[in-house]
């Protein structure tokens, strides 16, 4: 059965469940089959279990035959010579004696031929038996390893997250291995159903977080707008029109409307983030470009720490947005006179790179990573929408990396991004 790499996007509740597939098919990725050590060991065991007793029995049989066939006919010939002399002395015919001597000579020739052929016969018997045992071991090994190889292909597919693969198995299993394949398919169905339920629960929880965050973010501008409208509605015919009060209320309304428009634009941008287009990217020139871009508007210098370059397969636009967000946050958090914002690039073991962005601002209160970066919408800037970190986390996740924010040792915030040189499931061409 041919091994293949099976990739499929997990279904969403709004899309139909992908059709189930068998483990056989065209390969989209190179998979190396496991070494045939089990089959080789089975062959060795069967050969040893069959040939060792057979060789021992052959040696015992050869020894017994040699002892039986080693009987000499010299004493018999001496007796026949005595009988021949006695018959000759009496003048009796010796025809019967001559015939007995002829038969005895033929028996001696047959004994000698048998002594010469016994070793060859036993050797041929051992070779034929060995060939039969080897053939039986190969056939038995194939019968035993074929279900194991099929099960291995299914396990590789499940390890990649493709739970739609089903192994070929008869409806009524004929042995324990076929029963195991059927149970494997049943396990895949249960895992797929559990994953769909988990995805639905996660989406519901995500919508709840979004609704909670939106309610919190919209409450402040809507409250201010409500107060401004109430201020405008308090008019008295006996009092002159207060143009200052009206202009202040209108200005407040305009400011809150602008804030809502920025939030709406940020949400729209986050929802329409383009799919990544992976290609070879030289990371140090890209970081230098970002540092130069934000150095002109930053209250503190933005420095790229010298070091070696690193090339990886990534989406250059996504990386510019990712590191641009981190550098922008660092510059906005740094007051005038604070230490410079430092961006560093280093190589990691295991085929990965790390980019750190450190500032001397007020710093975060604790470590932020994983779900904490996308839980809720928070921003310390009046014009912020709170979507910078969720956008950065989404880009890092698409590249198969990690994003971590932690308090720096000397004060401020340290943002650390670890990216693999080749993200998982990246296309071969840009």
The 3 state secondary structure assigned to 380-417 is CCCCCCCCHHHHHHHHHHHCCCEEEEEECCCCCEEEEE
The CA distance from 57 to 64, in Å, is 10
Q: Which residues contact 370 (CB under 8 A, 6 or more apart)?
A: 402
pLDDT winner (highest mean) among 49-53, 156-160, 346-350: 346-350
pLDDT of residue 281: 92
* Crossing angle of helices 388-398 and 316-333, rounded to 10°: 150
Identify the residue with better confidence: 5 or 207: 207
Mean pLDDT of 286-311: 90
Verdict on whether the full-model pTM lies above 0.75: no
Of 121, 111, 114, 84, the C-alpha closest to 100 is: 84
Give tens-digit pLDDT for 332-366.
Answer: 888 888 899 999 999 988 889 999 999 988 878 88
User: Is 322's pLDDT higher than 50?
Assistant: yes
User: Is 74's pLDDT higher than 70?
Assistant: no
What separation in angstroms does the CA of 423 have from each of 14, 111, 312, 323?
Answer: 27, 80, 9, 17
Q: What confidence tier does 75 reach under pLDDT thresholds 50, 70, 90?
A: confident
User: Is 325's pLDDT higher than 80?
Assistant: yes
The CA distance from 346 to 147, in Å, is 46
Q: What confidence tier does 181 reach under pLDDT thresholds 50, 70, 90?
A: confident
pLDDT of residue 64: 76
Q: What confidence tier does 216 reach under pLDDT thresholds 50, 70, 90?
A: low
User: Is 34's pLDDT higher than 60?
Assistant: no
pLDDT of residue 28: 41
Angle, vertex CA 225, rays to CA 221 and CA 227, nearest 5: 120
pLDDT winner (highest mean) among 164-173, 337-346, 365-374: 337-346
The mean-pLDDT minimum among 142-151, 272-281, 420-429 falls in 420-429
pLDDT of residue 50: 74
User: Is 29's pLDDT higher than 50?
Assistant: no
Total Cβ atoms within 10 A of residue 331? 22
pLDDT of residue 288: 93
pLDDT of residue 2: 39
Q: What confidence tier does 418 reach under pLDDT thresholds 50, 70, 90?
A: very high
The CA distance from 341 to 345, in Å, is 14
At 233, list the tokens: 């509605």
Average pLDDT, the chain: 76
Of 315, 324, 273, the C-alpha closest to 400 is: 315
């Amino acid at each position: 059965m041919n091994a293949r790499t099976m990739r499929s996007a997990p279904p969403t509740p709004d899309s139909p469940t992908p059709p189930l597939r068998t483990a056989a098919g065209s390969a989209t990725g190179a998979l190396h089959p496991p070494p045939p050590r089990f089959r080789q060991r089975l062959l060795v065991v069967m050969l040893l279990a069959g040939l060792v007793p057979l060789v021992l029995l052959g040696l015992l049989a050869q020894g017994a035959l040699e002892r039986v066939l080693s009987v000499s006919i010299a004493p018999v010939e001496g007796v026949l010579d005595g009988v021949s002399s006695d018959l000759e002395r009496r003048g009796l015919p010796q025809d019967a004696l001559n015939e007995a001597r002829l038969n005895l000579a033929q028996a001696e020739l047959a004994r000698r031929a048998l002594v010469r052929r016994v070793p060859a016969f036993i050797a041929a018997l051992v070779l034929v038996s060995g060939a039969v045992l080897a053939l039986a071991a190969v056939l038995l090994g194939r019968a035993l390893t074929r279900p194991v190889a099929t099960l291995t292909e299914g396990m590789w597919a499940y390890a990649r997250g493709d739970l739609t693969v089903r192994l070929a198995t008869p409806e009524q299993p004929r042995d324990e291995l076929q029963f195991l394949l059927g149970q494997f398919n049943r396990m895949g169905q249960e895992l797929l159903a559990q994953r769909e339920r988990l995805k639905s629960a996660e989406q519901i929880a995500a919508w709840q977080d979004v609704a909670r965050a939106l309610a919190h973010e919209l409450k402040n501008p809507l409250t201010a707008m409500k107060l401004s409208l109430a201020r405008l509605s308090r008019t008295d015919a006996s009092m002159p029109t207060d143009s200052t009060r009206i202009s202040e209320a209108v200005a407040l309304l305009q400011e809150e409307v602008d804030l809502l428009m920025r939030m709406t634009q940020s949400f729209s941008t986050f929802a329409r983030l383009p799919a990544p287009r992976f290609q070879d990217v030289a990371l140090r020139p890209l970081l230098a470009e970002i540092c130069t871009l934000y150095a002109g508007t930053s209250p503190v210098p933005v420095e790229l720490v010298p070091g070696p370059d690193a090339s990886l397969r990534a989406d250059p636009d996504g990386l510019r947005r990712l590191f641009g967000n981190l550098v922008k946050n660092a510059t906005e958090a740094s007051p005038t006179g604070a230490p410079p914002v430092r961006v560093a690039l280093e190589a990691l073991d295991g085929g990965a790179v790390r980019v750190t962005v450190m500032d001397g601002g007020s710093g975060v209160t604790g470590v932020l990573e994983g779900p904490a970066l996308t839980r809720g919408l928070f921003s310390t800037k009046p014009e912020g929408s709170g979507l910078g970190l969720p956008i950065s986390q989404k880009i890092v996740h698409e590249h198969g990396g990690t994003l971590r924010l932690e308090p720096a040792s000397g004060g401020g915030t340290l943002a650390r991004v670890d990216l693999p040189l080749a993200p998982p499931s990246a296309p071969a061409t840009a």
